[in-house]
A and B are shown apart, each in its own frame.
Chain A
């Protein structure tokens, strides 16, 4: 439970102009990086890291946390407006955010993304602070088989985001798995599908695949539309603002997606992208209008954004309490702590409780600044939506190319982006959904890694997956989730069939 006296000391530790200024600067930099395709949160943190060498520990963490929290939200702005996820975490937001923008509800989508992010960020930080010691002890029980079971559960999301046809969704997922296998095998380092090209050894980057899957098909589709159209088409309309009633109506969605995102955030190695898709999936699963998902519903944006932003607070828990970074960004944050003489691990909370609570309070401060900066970005967005598509999409193509190249400075990524883009367009013409492809690409390497580690531990026996309560629970949940999704899909199909006959 929270020690209020220590919390008071932590508050006085962070309430200095230096810390607040550093946090605000981090938020502004994180927003810039988030909305720029190709610049990821990890790049922003790494670029800022050398500046922190000359700062106090709390000031440097304030700067880095500001970037960390904001870059996750920033990626959704471009995802909603121009179908280009600024960061991989924003891919799930695109599924409903971009259709909303096309319906002339850009402002509602952007505001929902911002407020869902803030809500989930606050809730997940409260969860992280409250259950900090408990989560730390549970995280220790997660070995390879348990993480494998969690990933299997997460993979059932594929059926939920397959749109009208689960069969097509599964086929897309198979392609996603296969593309994810390009490069070195995670255990032995054997080359797979590299065809002797050295640049393939490192595999495909997630941002390359996401830009290829979502941005290039949109550019091609808009080109066909623009060429035939005689009128000037703009990117969209800002439309009405989100009402407080609309925001409140999605509270159960925020809560569910926050819980899902917090769980994945607390587990090392999963990160924000799976959490965003889990949040989206949970929103759809419990929605009264699941048919509207993928066509532009605020609930989808709320679920995805709540899911990915719920990762921030809980991801710090295993990093600070066990010394296990949840993802690459938290690994850099851990490095910053070490540089300032703090040793993340079980003794950190005992030795530096004021600092630990200070870190969580800084998350709240970052979220407040995110609210201010995010509102400013939404005001600027009204100028962007007035740009004609005849100008916007050629510019998007160039930005996407620079962004994709910048991630790893290799032309192979640009070639892959165009290749996946053309594949994505062909998939789009037959309504083969892109989201399962993306999910499989994200989760595939994690799944294989944990599966093979488990099999090495058990000398090839599958019994290892049924020896712990955690893995059995998640495998049962996965089975139930898969069966339920197929059943619900069948039932919805049935109701459609009934409507057709009636009509």
Chain B
């Protein structure tokens, strides 16, 4: 397993968050091993339904998942052994900054919050809030830019997906934008008005 030697031997006390460390490898390997073992002993018996006639055969629905879990456990154990050996040899290895992890965690939380927001407030409203929040997080401080994007982008996407592609958007628990659906009626009325008035206008012109 190769390592970014220049960064590992760096005299700096911190490394970039994308640079793998021996400590991180140990944690990752342990987690992978845990996933493999939990998958084999806990998840597969509980979450894979096997018809009685196929129990223990290679044609069982659980056969390949078990094989993969065994492989995952074996590979992760090897990874763990190698990474522990590297960790011992690494000495005072530089760490990635805690602030970087907090920033990454905050962005991941924004993504998770966005999903929760979609379920509660609907895709359009949640997207408007999320894009505004994310723009701010990314360093955009011009309120006019944030407001313009937060209004135009979700509105355009709503129109494209709901009205042109006819894709049913998720129904939220709190339908905040529900009253705005009444505007559809105004839109239809406007279209009918235009469609009827154009021939009349043509007739007058003639």
Using a CB–CB cutoff of 8 Å, the interface residues on chain A facing chain B are 39, 164-165, 167-168, 170-171, 174-175, 177-178, 181, 185, 187-188, 190-195, 216, 219-224, 226-229, 388-391, 393-395, 397-399, 401-402, 405-406, 409, 411, 414-415, 418, 421-422, 425-426, 428-432, 448, 451-452, 455-456, 460, 493, 496, 500
Q: Is the CB of B2 within 8 A of A493?
A: yes
In the complex, what distance in Å separates the CA atom of A421 from the CA atom of B115? 13
Pick the contact of A226 from B59, B138, B169 — CB < 8 Å? Answer: B138
Given contacts A178-B39, A397-B134, A429-B18, contact A223 B107 (CB under 8 A): yes
CB neighbours of B51 from chain A (8 A): 188, 190
Stretch of B60-68, B176-184, B188-196, B197-205 at the chain-chain interface: B60-68
Chain A's nearest CB lies how many Å from the CB of B53? 10
Given contacts A178-B69, A178-B72, A405-B170, contact A193 B43 (CB under 8 A): yes
Residue of chain A at shortest CB distance from B1: A165
Chain B interfacial residues counted at CB < 8 A: 70
Chain A's nearest CB lies how many Å from the CB of B47? 5
20 examples of A-B residue contacts, CB within 8 angstroms: A174-B68, A177-B64, A181-B64, A222-B138, A226-B139, A227-B103, A391-B138, A394-B131, A397-B111, A397-B114, A401-B118, A401-B127, A405-B123, A411-B118, A429-B24, A430-B24, A430-B28, A431-B20, A493-B2, A500-B5
In the complex, what distance in Å separates the CA atom of A402 from the CA atom of B43? 31
Does chain A have a CB within 8 A of B112?
A: yes
Q: Is the CB of A190 within 8 A of B64?
A: no
Given contacts A165-B1, A390-B135, A394-B131, contact A418 B104 (CB under 8 A): no
Residue of chain A at shortest CB distance from B36: A174
9 A-B pairs with the lowest CB-CB distances in the bound complex, closest first: A394-B134, A185-B61, A174-B72, A390-B138, A223-B107, A164-B2, A190-B61, A190-B49, A226-B138
Does chain A have a CB within 8 A of B119?
A: yes
Chain A's nearest CB lies how many Å from the CB of B63? 8
CB neighbours of B49 from chain A (8 A): 190-192
In the complex, what distance in Å separates the CA atom of A390 from the CA atom of B135? 6
Chain A's nearest CB lies how many Å from the CB of B132? 8
Chain B's nearest CB lies how many Å from the CB of A152? 13
Using a CB–CB cutoff of 8 Å, the interface residues on chain B facing chain A are 1-2, 5, 17-18, 20, 24-25, 28, 32, 35-36, 39, 43, 47-51, 54, 57-59, 61-62, 64-65, 68-69, 71-72, 75-76, 78-79, 82, 96, 100, 103-104, 106-108, 111-112, 114-115, 118-119, 123, 127, 130-131, 134-135, 137-140, 145, 149, 153-154, 157, 161, 165, 167-170
CB neighbours of B2 from chain A (8 A): 164-165, 493, 496
Pick the contact of A221 from B18, B32, B75, B96 — CB < 8 Å? Answer: B18
Pick the contact of B75 from A171, A429, A500 — CB < 8 Å? Answer: A171
Pick the contact of B82 from A164, A167, A460 — CB < 8 Å? Answer: A167
In the complex, what distance in Å separates the CA atom of A223 from the CA atom of B139? 9
CB neighbours of A174 from chain B (8 A): 36, 68-69, 71-72, 75
Q: Is the CB of A228 within 8 A of B61?
A: no
Residue of chain A at shortest CB distance from B109: A422
